[in-house]
Amino acid sequence: MSKFNTKMKKLITGISVLALFACGGNGENKQGEMYSGETKKSEEPKEEKHLANIKQLTFGGNNAEAYWSFDNTKLVFQSDYSNWGNKCDQIYMMPIDQDLNDTNTIPQLISTGKGRTTCSYFMPGDTTIIYASTHLGGDACPVDPPRGEKYVWPIHSTYDIFVADLKGNMKQQLTFRDGYDAEATVSPKGDLIVFTSDRSGDLELYTMKIDGSDVKQVTTELGYDGGAFFSPDGTKLIFRSSRPRTELEKKEYKELLAKGLVQPTNMELFVCNVDGSDMKQITNLGGANWAPFFHPGGEKVIFSSNHKTKSFPFNLFMINLDGSGLEQITYDKAFDSFPMFSPDGTKLVFSSNRDNGGGRATNMFYADWVE
């Protein structure tokens, strides 16, 4: 996706950023601390051989789910940074070379500034942006569940999917139902949108045409399927899923879902054709494996995982579509997630807690990709 306390406390600390963004995970709203450092360049660990010339893009609050425009020149992302007037996540757009270390600079607001937003993406042509928002359900941030012993995400029923232009003018509403419709991304072919919805009574993947018509269900198995992205040729989908297996797990999942909640602490990655055929589970690592995105070659997937510790840190890994060749990409001791390759395959953007001056800020970084 996709709002981030003892053993459970450590786990929740480790996935707090996951909750803040996660393309559909919308938990409590914690402000990150402003980073007052002067440098914009990260000192990457020597092990990070695939990343060169890492550059920090944001410098305060929680910033994540940064996705490239099709022409490789802009990013759309979500942020809860209070210095920009936010009380919870809103959608912004920036040229890749914009300097946000200048405290007087605020990127272009794309969303309405009302409610909570999640999961934005450029539409074909790079003149409009799709995102999900709760603003029709009220101007205020929707109320999140109290933190308890179990870590959960709220699935707000007021989320719908919208399209706005690059100045934030609303152009179109694509979903109109009372229920969760969010986590939309767009095919590189420019013909389809994939999104997550609870319209079947479960959290499943669906596709629709760019204009919102011809909605088709992709997944059918019990469990939360979300955070989906298309392959570079537009024929496959990669997504995360927290599918319950035992009767006890199924019972707990259904009870939480009836309350508008899901528990995202155990997620694995699945790949399928766009119509849902040839479904395959490609990770079986344990812990939270999520935020997957296809490598430009189409035969590998980069993703975020805490499988080594089941708590903290989260690092980036890469794996082949047949589940072989697991490789660690980042090695810092904090949080790395939301990786996305630029359409031309030369750069990787991701979000991280690194280099934040000891604070809690989650910032966006990009790097040259080295094969």
What tens digit of pLDDT does each residue of 332-346 get?
Answer: 888 999 999 999 999
Which H or E element spans position 249? helix 247-258
pTM, full prediction? 0.91
> 136 in helix, strand or coil?
helix
- Domain extent listing, the chain: 7-369
Q: How far is Cα of residue 11 from the mean position of the Cα atoms in its chain?
A: 19
Instruction: Name 292's Cβ contacts closer than 8 Å, sequence gap at least 6.
Output: 227, 229, 238, 239, 240, 269, 301, 302, 303
Model pLDDT for residues 68-85, shown as the tens digit of each residue: 999 999 999 999 999 999
d(CA 21, CA 34): 18
Average of per-residue pLDDT values in the chain = 89
Six token digits for residue 261? 């909640």
Backbone angles phi, psi at 9, to 5 degrees: -60, -40
d(CA 305, CA 315): 6
pLDDT at 313 over 70: yes
Confidence of residue 66 (pLDDT cuts 50, 70, 90): very high
Six token digits for residue 157? 């029923």
Are residues 232 and 294 in contact, defined by beta-carbon separation less than 8 angstroms? yes
Are residues 201 and 224 in contact, defined by beta-carbon separation less than 8 angstroms? no
d(CA 266, CA 240): 10
Model pLDDT for residues 250-303, shown as the tens digit of each residue: 999 999 999 999 998 899 999 999 999 999 999 999 999 999 999 999 999 999
> 298 in helix, strand or coil?
coil
Tell me the CB-side half-sphere exposure of residue 371, using CA atoms within 13 A. Answer: 6
Six token digits for residue 291? 């935020």
Which of 3.20.20.140, 2.120.10.30, 2.40.10.10, 3.90.1150.10 would CATH assign to domain 7-369?
2.120.10.30
Largest CA distance in the chain: 54
